[in-house]
Structure 1
């Protein structure tokens, strides 16, 4: 496994004045580098553009749309949204959808997609992702662990190296065991959508994905939040990250906006939006408000059982909210 240290794509915020730049031959060695908290990282990092960026661009050339799912804070339902987004997009049998679990230390996607007991196989073309359905495939470190209870205790460089392999070595075009008959003669079998479920915050994993996708392109990011101000504060940091990294923000999703009882259909506000919630923030910052998803205890049950909530309960308000939000995302990309 390639676990080389990745050079950042931009000068770090906490760099000293007159920083020579992380890709410079003098990075970490120049007089201005003395005392900089990033000195050892820059000195040991490879210099110049990473040749794998071009390799990854060619590898992902047949993928039409690449979307990041981000959140500033953990526990807002980002992975749940990523999985349900994948399910809804994949409900059209003519659409091929892939989901990459970039949360290396907390891989929950295999369980939520109902493939927790599967393993990744290696072929002559690289790693074969795990197929949830004929047109839905998943890649996660969770498939490589000896048990679901095994912790991943890795530093940044090793995590970054695995993400690079997810981008460079996974054969998303593999269709040997598939029965898709919707492709016409001469049509590409590449994915229509590749979704990246990222960990909370703005960490190594985010920088790695952005760096290695800069040539192949990112259609945009979807930011997930809850109505509370403490969550919105962290989402503002995520918005700033996207702008500094030149990632288009497709819009904001407000999760757990209200609670709608599955039996009486009564609606209650659980997380009070003291500053107006995500809708008000989007209006203030000029961003797309994609919609609100109410709390429904059946969503958690479906995630635990690895099933599509929108397929099991299509008439529920939460399922309708998911479908409407996905329709907006499809229109935006």
Structure 2
């Protein structure tokens, strides 16, 4: 039966094209078909394609794996040097770059905040100068005992700063910590060998880097304190809240107060109880460490003293 032809199709108005029509009227479609058939037969008969085909993708993964291992090993040993100084340099460098990027985006970070009075307290300014001087002198001093004394001077100056800015609880904690740390350092110094050579003073790049980090952290601390004051606005300060609720409570605390007339004691026990618990834990741990070091060392020294008939000094001063 003859196939019906779509009357709307002009190309097939007289019927479907027969088999030999492309050969009688050759064109581009016929040439492309012949080329594809010839190329396929040629490739099929070629000995090059009869063997195993080496796929390029089979070599990509092993090469990538070796590249990752080699580069990763080199990068790991570049950053993981095992030296604490290098780790600190990397961390502080990222901090410095981050703050520099933020300051470049917001130049107002480089301006002194309004209402900041650096010379408001002469005592605080002098104590801060003592802390800075001790921090600068610490790497320049070579004798160990003098270093401990310089470090202790910095810590005791911080105690004075806490007292100037009305933080007696922090001052007391810092004072106890400084006393214990100085004693521990002096005890440990006895166990360290003497140094026959003078330590090399840090070169200029390290001093410049340390100065940049110190100035940056100090400036960000100043900006953070000013931002906190601006956020609070006219809200009541934390000190006023402690003063109001140290004895009797209010509606804010459901009528419960600290039941104490000493505001500092109420702050330490009630308002900041967990913080005080943490401080006590730190001090107790340090005390246990000192106690564990002293008895065994004292027995060892007593045995040596009995054998030689001489007493051993408590602290051996040496460079």
TM bin (shorter chain): under 0.3
- With normalisation by structure 1, the TM-score equals 0.20
Structure whose CA Rg is larger: 2
Q: Normalized per residue, which structure has more helix?
A: 2
